[in-house]
Amino acid sequence: MTAGRSTRYGNRIVRPPRVPRVQGADRASGRKGADRLSRLKGANVLSGLTRSVRGLERRDDGNAIVEYLILGVLFLIPLVYVFLAVFAVQSTAYGVTAAAREAARAFVTAPTTTDGLTRACAAAAIALRNESADTFDCSTQLAVQCVTRDACAVSLEPGLMIRVIVRARAELPFLPGSLFGHPLGVDVSAQHDEVVDSFRAAG
């Protein structure tokens, strides 16, 4: 009877008894891990040592499928959060870009600077309200500068270029500010340059 092959005696199958592993017969027994181990450690290691190492290995064996499933789900959850956060920032970025453009356009169509600021504030607030639900504070989030002059003239002369900067904060989802003492978010800003129309009604 050769090792590693079943032999039929009458009606019952007789499997070959396993020969001691230290003699390098693991290959025939079909235990790949043990075979690799004994090959790694050499075939002539003391049988007691081999057996204790193999015992450790078997106790550590966990189910790879369970690990794969749990880790897969665990890594998907942060990915969902990243998606939500990134798209919240993108939405706010679109919003401030639009608000800056609106405010600049509203400013240059106004007859005076004071009137223009009021109109710019209204335009930015209306534009941004659709993107994010929070309130818009014109005194802190909206800035109008003159690009070509040191100070803006009281009446907007044709050809005058103004620059509008709108700032907003994209709140990170599921992270309330009360938990960390200050609101967590990403600051987003946009600027837009606009020229006062050359042909406009005298203000």
Partner 1 sequence: MPVPDEWSSPVDEGSAVVDLVLVSLLLMPLFVALLHVGSVLYVRNTLAACAHDAARYAASHDIVTAGPETMRDAVHRRIDACVPALVGRRLTVTAEAERTVRTTPDGAAVPVVEVHVSGVLDAIVGTRTIHAAAAVLSEDP
d(CA 90, CA 87) in angstroms, rounded, equals: 5
Q: How far apart are CA 48 and CA 197, in angstroms?
A: 93
Q: How many chain residues touch partner 1 (CB under 8 A)?
A: 41
- What residues from 45 to 104 belong to the interface with partner 1 (CB under 8 A)? 64-65, 68-69, 72-73, 76, 79-80, 83-84, 87, 90-91, 94, 98, 101-102
**Residues forming a β-bridge with 16:** none
Closest contact distance (angstroms) between CB of 98 and partner 1 is: 5
Task: Based on the shown chain and the rule CB under 8 A, indicate whether residue 123 belongs to the binding site for partner 1.
Answer: yes
- Closest to partner 1 by CB, 61 or 150: 61
Cα separation, 117 vs 162, in Å, equals 12
The residue (of 86 and 153) whose beta carbon lies closer to partner 1 is: 86
Q: Closest Cα partner for 57 from 40, 39, 33, 41?
A: 33
Q: Of the candidates 2, 11, 44, 135, which one interacts with partner 1 according to CB under 8 A?
A: 135
- Please identify, among the stretches 44-52, 122-130, 150-158, 168-176, the one whose residues bind partner 1 according to the rule CB under 8 A: 122-130
Residues with Cβ within 8 Å of 99's Cβ and at least 6 positions away in sequence, in order, are 123, 124, 125, 127, 128, 131, 136, 166, 168, 190
Cα separation of 25 and 60, whole Å? 24
Q: Decide: 103 and 122 in contact? Cβ < 8 Å.
A: no
Does residue 122 belong to the site contacting partner 1 (CB under 8 A)? Answer: yes
Query: Contact positions toward partner 1, by CB under 8 A?
Result: 14-15, 17-18, 30-31, 64-65, 68-69, 72-73, 76, 79-80, 83-84, 87, 90-91, 94, 98, 101-102, 105-106, 109, 118-119, 121-123, 125-127, 129-131, 135-136, 138
